[in-house]
Structure 1
Amino acid sequence: MGLGPLEIGLIILAILLLFGYKKLPDASRSLGRSLRIFKGEMKGMKEDDVRTRDAATTTPVRGEIVAPASAPSDELNTRLQDEARAAEVRAAELRARADQARTTDGPR
């Protein structure tokens, strides 16, 4: 069950009736651009995968220190969250001091 010349002609006629002959070149151009962009992105993703795989399989040079590829430990996550909270508190204090200094100095 394939498409015969009559079915293909009817499909082309339906497309012409739906879009009009003036809009078809613009539509085909934009479709071509979209496919080119998609193809480029897919190629980039494949290259990234290859680079990642190559980086994971390379052996370290003698004496080189290599960080583990696993996720950070819970202890490290906790410490980073504590440091982030402390930084937020310091930033809030500095903002409050700046607002207080603006209100005490007043407009001149």
Structure 2
Amino acid sequence: MYAMIGMPQGAEWLVILAIVVLVFGAAKLPDLARGTGQALRIFKAETKGLRDDDEKDQATPPPPVAPAPTELPPTTAQEPVRPQDQTDKHNG
């Protein structure tokens, strides 16, 4: 028969609890449980905040985008520099 892989039941929870007590000690368990509870509360609050932000973003339309300019501003005309007009002072 195949071994069932899933959530621990009955006696498995007692073995897990005994291992946790041995690893952390009985005095540390209340602090460990308190810290875990606070972490879960913070996690739930953050995920709720993200969901609320997503709902708020979907409810409000995006701001209008400014139209692109249709013509470029005038530029000052400059004479192009010609390569043959330039002389190399170092090579004569």
Is the TM-score greater than 0.5?
A: yes
Which structure is higher in helix share? 1
Matched, 1:68 2:68: no
Q: Which has the larger radius of gyration?
A: 2
Cα separation, partners in 2 of 1:42 and 1:4, compared to 1, 3 Å:
closer
Matched, 1:10 2:15: yes
| 1:68-103 superposed Cα distances (whole Å, 9 cap, x missing partner) | 29xxx7x9xxxxxxxxxxxxxxxxxxxxxxxxxxxx
Which ranges of structure 2 fall in alignment gaps of 5 or more residues?
A: 70-92
Which ranges of structure 1 fall in alignment gaps of 5 or more residues?
A: 58-65, 76-108
* TM-score for the superposition, normalised by structure 2: 0.58
Residue 37 of structure 1 is aligned with which of 22, 28, 42? 42
The alignment's C-alpha RMSD in Å is 2.5
- Structure 1: distance between partners of 2:27 and 2:14: 19
**May I ask how many residue pairs the two structures share in their alignment?**
63
Q: Per the alignment, in what secondary structure is the counterpart of residue 13 of structure 2?
A: helix
* TM-score for the superposition, normalised by structure 1: 0.50
